[in-house]
Amino acid sequence: MGDVVFVRRGVYHDSVTLMRAGTGLPGAEVAVVAMATELNLGLARDLGFELPAADPGDLLVALRGEDVAGAAEELDRRLTAQAPVGAEAEQPPRTTRSAARSPADLVLVSVPGEHAFAEALDAVEAGLPVMIFSDGVAAEQERLLKERADERGVLVMGPDCGTAVIGGVGLGFANVLRPGPVGVVAASGTGAQQVTCLLDLAGVGVSHVLGVGGRDLSAEIGGRSTARALRMLDDDPATELIVLISKPPSPEVARTVREVAGTLRTPVVTALLGPGTDLTSATEHALRALGEPVPRWPSWHPAEAGGPYGGAGRTLAGVYSGGTLCAEAAMIAGRGEFTDYGDDAYTRGRAHPMIDPTLRLEALRRVPPEAVVLMDVVLGHGSDPDPAAALAPAIAAAEATVVIALIGTDGDPQGRRRQAEALRDAGASACRRG
């Protein structure tokens, strides 16, 4: 067993690429392959690696195992396989500004939050709508972007906009949904995913899902994107009903949004999440507005499970990847310790927990045996191609009871049923909500 640590100055790869390249390196039992952010340096230090000085712009590689040299070689092979080779290779654009010289209709920004402003502004200045998947963008920058976007008449989705579906194409974390009459405007990514997946289960499809970012309805931002998205859906002939999903906004923003909604020809179902309104009830509300029946939502249980899970005295632990799902579960449970691993604090310099299960797997190892663990597993484009593969062994190893809110559709690449069965076989209960 040996350690090898090296820092490649100024070498950049995005966190997902690094996670993939660093997973399952033959000869390495422990591998940290990540940009040298404080969080990642801390992680490597906790694993007992001795680290040289490094900047967030440097690539950190720390390997431990029987054949670290072989592992390093394989890592290099994987990372270089991604880069175009040769001077002949067409040079890709280096900024959104440069890319926008070719015809385009939308820009999807997912660079680290402190750098997202420049790329998003390029899009707005080029007159292109933009979805900012990145989180950790300063509120002041968001306001400025949205002001400029209003001048240019373009939509800014986000920052921290995890999902959108436009004309059937899913952006970010997006489920494969049937086409249909419901247009969604959402200040919550996982909230929109849950509602649209439930609608899909009920046989109702969507026209578009427009995310606006969790902060859009705050007093500071003033609901600028929400207002624009509502008007855009109103102008869309395929949209017959608009569902607006958000946490309760500030009173003056709520007034603005109500005013905009009042001017639309398309009916609007507003789901302000909080006591009394959860994602399931919001979906049921939308179904009733369309005159559609509300189905019985499915769930899968291991043979030995009986429920109820939350018997008095048992510790409740929420281990979530979706902020809204986490908040909703915490609200319904009314007690326990709930952590949203999709929060900014956990995603600096590493991939979102819907892609990178590491932090949640660690959390699962730490829960006491008598606890009940509530977690979400979100399927769809952009998410882990097989979340059950990593989670099932951890669930099987955990003595705690695990209940999973499985968000997805049968059309999703991971297969909702297949994932549910794999998780159930490992001993978890999978159901429509936490």
The answer to whether 128 and 104 are in contact (CB under 8 A) is yes
Nearer to another protein, 103 or 251 (CB): 103
The Cα–Cα gap between 197 and 199 comes to 5
Distances in Å between the Cα of 287 and the Cα atoms of 60, 243, 409 are 50, 10, 17
Nearer to another protein, 103 or 369 (CB): 103
Smallest gap from Cβ 157 to another protein, in A, equals 13
Smallest gap from Cβ 355 to another protein, in A, equals 7
Distances in Å between the Cα of 391 and the Cα atoms of 57, 355, 376, 426 are 31, 12, 11, 9
Smallest gap from Cβ 251 to another protein, in A, equals 29
The Cα–Cα gap between 180 and 287 comes to 12
**Which residue from 398, 421, 394 is spatially nearest to 408, judged by alpha carbons?**
421
Strand partners, 65: 2
Which sign, positive or negative, has the C-alpha torsion 380, 344, 206, 171? negative
Nearer to another protein, 7 or 290 (CB): 7
Angle at 172 between CA 374 and CA 61, to 5 degrees: 80
Per-residue buried b or exposed e for 249-260, using 16+ beta carbons within 10 Å of the residue's own CB: beeebbebbeeb
The answer to whether 279 and 273 are in contact (CB under 8 A) is yes
Residues in contact with another protein by CB under 8 A are 10, 12, 14-17, 55-57, 82, 87-88, 91-100, 102, 104-112, 114-115, 117-119, 121, 123, 125, 128, 133-134, 138, 141, 144, 169-172, 174, 351, 355, 381-382, 413
The Cα–Cα gap between 87 and 99 comes to 19
Nearer to another protein, 35 or 261 (CB): 35
Nearer to another protein, 2 or 57 (CB): 57
Nearer to another protein, 92 or 276 (CB): 92
The answer to whether 217 and 250 are in contact (CB under 8 A) is yes
The Cα–Cα gap between 424 and 413 comes to 19
Nearer to another protein, 93 or 179 (CB): 93
Nearer to another protein, 56 or 70 (CB): 56
User: DSSP readout, 322-350?
Assistant: -HHHHHHHHHHH-SSEEEETTSHHHHTTS
Nearer to another protein, 10 or 313 (CB): 10
Q: Structure tokens of 245?
A: 């999903």
Smallest gap from Cβ 133 to another protein, in A, equals 7
